[in-house]
Structure 1
């Protein structure tokens, strides 16, 4: 039983760290456009889809940073 409790603690820490990292990464995604006429849900979804098609998923996660850069170019911050 002692061995199982020694394995659980690092596993809990690792899972907690990964969840916190995911929440931080999601909060960095731009969601406000500098142009008030474009600051709506339909424009956001269109721009986000365009950026997602331009930068498809990669195993390393680089695509997230590229998509954020693409959204920044489109005026989202």
Structure 2
């Protein structure tokens, strides 16, 4: 089974949290997170951010633009180390 790279994983975080990955992709994602502490922290931070946003605006869904900006910020942070 081919493993995801860290960059590939970052691209799939929202799909993972939305339960939009097929079973083989989900298993690869979870295997990577289990073996990569940095990606595990990245996923944890993303979950915390989503949870905080839901609590602050429970009746509204994030716009595509807002989600894109959040993803860009997470990618930029990942590339800085």
Q: Which TM-score band applies after superposition, normalised by the shorter structure?
A: 0.3 to 0.5
- Answer 1 or 2: which has greater helix percent: 2
Q: Which has more radius of gyration?
A: 1
